[in-house]
Amino acid sequence: MSDPDPITGAVDGVYSQNTEHSAEAISHLITFFREGPRNQAVLAAVMEQVQEVEDLLWYIKNGFDVNTAVGEQLDFIGKRVGEGRQDRLDAEYRGAIRVRILINMSTGTMNELLAICDGINPTGIFIARELYPAAISIEADTFGATSLAAAYRMLFAAKTAGVRLHLVVGPSASLGSSDGAPAGGELGSSDGSPAGFVLGSGR
């Protein structure tokens, strides 16, 4: 780890909140002035205002950062990116907002689509393949608590226009009812073998 930047205080380009403006300013005085209590008091009073400004800026930054925002602050972020709360608790809603941000920023590359899959279910296993002439196939073991149809809608919104999307969920996912009837897609892969469910191929 590098030493802090003498001007900005950043370490390896990462900034952190400074809560010691008064103490640092006093320590920078030459000995003659530092030993005077009146000098210290005047400088501390000035630096307290600097500290208040920095504290406010960090409050704004953290309050409207999806990783740290809570409650109404999280609602505000969700509204800005187009993801409503839908009665979700903060932790679940925060994950949904992260996925929505990925969708909004996507240019349709396979890596971006895989990142969205990972955001939907961080413990899932996903494989993406390009299909000739203009299609992408994504195979997943499971999307967790997210339905196959919902996952398809999200990935469809993120793909490039004109590119066909094939979404295949493998046999480890519980998509069918107890009698084997498909609840979320067509049973069997595109060649008819019972490898899982296939949902959609629209442009």
Q: In what order do the strands lie in the sheet with 186-187?
A: 126-131, 135-140, 164-169, 197-199, 186-187
**Strand (E) or helix (H) holding 166:** strand 164-169
Please give the residue range of the domain that contains residue 42. 1-63
Q: Is the domain of 92 the same as that of 121?
A: no
Q: Which residue has the higher pLDDT, 62 or 6?
A: 62
Query: Do residues 3 and 57 share a domain?
Result: yes
pLDDT above 90: residue 122: yes
User: Are 101 and 84 in the same domain?
Assistant: yes
Q: Which residues contact 158 (CB under 8 A, 6 or more apart)?
A: 102, 103, 106, 108, 112, 113, 116
Tell whether the model's pLDDT for residue 4 goes beyond 80: no
139 shares its domain with 97:
no
- pLDDT bucket at 79, cuts 50 / 70 / 90: very high
The 10s digit of each residue's pLDDT in 146-198 is: 988 999 999 999 999 999 999 988 764 433 333 333 334 332 333 333 334 44
Same domain? For 96 and 113 the reply is no
Given this model, what pLDDT does residue 169 score?
A: 87
Number of domains in the chain: 3
Q: Are 150 and 176 within 8 A, CB to CB?
A: no
Residues 6+ apart with CB under 8 A from 9: 15, 16, 18
The verdict on 193 and 135 lying in the same domain is: yes
Specify whether 73 is located in the same domain as 130.
no
